[in-house]
């Protein structure tokens, strides 16, 4: 219905004092998380239930949590990143051999709110852990999402990769620097004004 016609119809209903009821078939497991991705909606508080952490459709997919537990600790984070890459690529329609970059934003690559809910649900089932509906909004890259999950999944230890610290270059002793400076100042004071000007001109040239 066009906006003007809809507003006119609504005005007629309000002026008449009549009440109307509408019955609709709504899949709240899909619609509610999308509407509440950013914040809770009081209107939806008692409408539908939260998306279940597991469902029958997950039986055909290997449990991510079980896979991570079976791996050595040092391989778990990389595996988690690869699995998230695969799910993001599948949801966004990437080719199986063309994984999305780990540092590129989900929504820059075309992810929608419904896709973000699907990603949350898949990871929720795989890790057997309740995850917030805003997960992809708050951590919108593969790497950021992997770090967030690694730190919040308590059923298995997923250590983050360690980054080697850059070698610290040792500076020359302060006493030596001061000694060199004193020696240079002493040499300058022994020169005449003409000699100093000549040296400055040589440096500038």
- Give the pLDDT confidence of 108-153 residue by residue, as tens digits: 999 999 999 999 999 999 999 999 989 999 999 999 999 999 999 8
**What H or E segment, with its residue span, contains residue 117?**
helix 113-127
- Give the pLDDT confidence of 72-83 residue by residue, as tens digits: 999 999 999 999
CATH architecture of the domain covering 60-152: Orthogonal Bundle (1.10)
Q: What does the DSSP assignment read for 54-97? A: --GGGGGS--HHHHHHHS-HHHHHHHHHHHHHHHHHHHHT--TT
Q: Would the pTM count as exceeding 0.75?
A: no
What are the structural domain ranges in the chain?
A: 60-152
């Amino acid at each position: 219905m066009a906006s003007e016609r809809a507003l006119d119809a609504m005005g007629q209903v309000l002026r008449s004092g009549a009440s109307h009821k509408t019955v609709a078939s709504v899949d709240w497991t899909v619609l509610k998380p999308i509407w509440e991705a950013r914040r809770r909606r009081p209107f939806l508080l008692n409408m539908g239930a939260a998306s279940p952490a597991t469902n029958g459709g997950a039986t055909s997919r290997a449990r991510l949590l079980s896979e991570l537990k079976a791996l050595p600790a040092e391989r778990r984070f990389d595996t988690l990143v690869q699995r998230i890459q695969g799910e993001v690529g599948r949801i966004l329609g990437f080719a199986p051999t063309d994984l999305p970059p780990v540092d590129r934003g989900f929504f820059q690559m075309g992810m929608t709110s419904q896709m973000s809910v699907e990603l949350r649900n898949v990871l929720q089932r795989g890790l057997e852990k309740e995850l917030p509906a805003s997960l992809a909004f708050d951590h919108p890259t593969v790497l950021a999402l992997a770090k967030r999950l690694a730190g919040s999944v308590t059923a298995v230890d997923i250590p983050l990769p360690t980054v080697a610290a850059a070698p610290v270059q040792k500076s020359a002793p302060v006493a030596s620097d001061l000694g060199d400076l004193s020696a240079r100042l002493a040499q300058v004071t022994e020169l005449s004004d003409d000699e100093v000007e000549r040296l400055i001109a040589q440096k500038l040239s």
